[in-house]
């Protein structure tokens, strides 16, 4: 129990009080206009589009162009780092057969989407998917 000399007002002043005055002012529209509240969200959405979504869509488009133009005897590099020459492309089965070593007649079959780059003719330097 509280001693009788303890002031009750100090205990009640520490408790959270409802702010009825703020609630009344909110209905009158005294806050910032709606346009200034939404403007930062719109700016963030525009920045996200140009920095994230648009470059990713462009990369996917270039990769699809690369895979649609893939043909026999193209030198390629897979996503796992294997160099090879295309021996067969089966688009309906989503498979590509690569000749890895001609001397030992080593062939591997990979998915079409695992082709990362097409190499330039006569060199081992890889070109990005959109530059060839």
The CATH number that applies at residue 113 is 2.30.30
- The total number of structural domains in the chain stands at 2
Are both 80 and 108 inside the same structural domain? yes
pLDDT at 80 over 60: yes
Are both 122 and 96 inside the same structural domain? yes
Among 29, 47, 66, the domain-final residue is: 66
Residues 6 or more apart whose CB falls under 8 angstroms from that of 45 comprise: none
Q: Which band of pLDDT confidence, cut at 50, 70 and 90, is reported for residue 100?
A: very high
pLDDT digits (tens, 9 = 90+) for 31-47: 788 888 899 999 999 99
Are both 24 and 59 inside the same structural domain? yes
pLDDT at 130: 47
Is 14 within the bounds of a domain? no
Are both 51 and 83 inside the same structural domain? no
Residues 6 or more apart whose CB falls under 8 angstroms from that of 125 comprise: 119
Are both 123 and 85 inside the same structural domain? yes
Q: What percent of the chain has pLDDT over 70?
A: 68
pLDDT at 27: 53
Average pLDDT over residues 5-11: 58
User: How many whole angstroms separate alpha carbon 90 and alpha carbon 110?
Assistant: 10
More confident residue, 114 or 31: 114
Q: Which band of pLDDT confidence, cut at 50, 70 and 90, is reported for residue 132?
A: very low
Are both 110 and 81 inside the same structural domain? yes
Reported for 57-65, long-range contacts at CB under 8 A and 24+ positions apart, including other chains, are 59/129, 62/128, 62/129, 62/130, 63/129, 65/129, 65/130
Are both 119 and 98 inside the same structural domain? yes
Q: N- to C-terminal Cα distance for the chain?
A: 85
Is 12 within the bounds of a domain? no
Write down the mean pLDDT value for the chain.
Answer: 80
Q: Which band of pLDDT confidence, cut at 50, 70 and 90, is reported for residue 15?
A: low
Using a 10 angstrom Cβ sphere, with 0-12 exposed, 13-18 middle and 19 or more buried, the burial of residue 85 is middle
Is 8 within the bounds of a domain? no
Are both 119 and 75 inside the same structural domain? yes
Is 112 within the bounds of a domain? yes
Look up the domain containing 28 and give its range.
20-66
> Which range is least confidently modeled, 29-38, 65-74, 87-96, 102-111?
29-38
Are both 83 and 116 inside the same structural domain? yes
Is 45 within the bounds of a domain? yes
């Amino acid at each position: 129990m509280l001693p009788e000399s303890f002031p009750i007002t100090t205990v009640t002043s520490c408790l959270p009080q409802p702010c009825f005055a703020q609630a009344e002012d909110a209905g009158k529209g005294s806050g910032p206009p709606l346009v200034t509240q939404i403007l930062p969200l719109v700016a963030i959405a525009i920045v996200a589009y140009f920095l994230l979504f648009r470059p990713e869509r462009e990369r996917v488009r270039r990769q699809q162009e690369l895979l649609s133009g893939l043909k026999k005897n193209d030198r390629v590099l897979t996503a796992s780092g294997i160099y090879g020459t295309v021996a067969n492309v089966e688009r309906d089965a989503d498979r590509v057969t690569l000749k890895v070593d001609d001397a030992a007649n080593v062939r591997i079959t990979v998915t079409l989407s695992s082709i990362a780059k097409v190499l330039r003719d006569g060199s081992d330097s890889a070109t990005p998917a959109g530059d060839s």
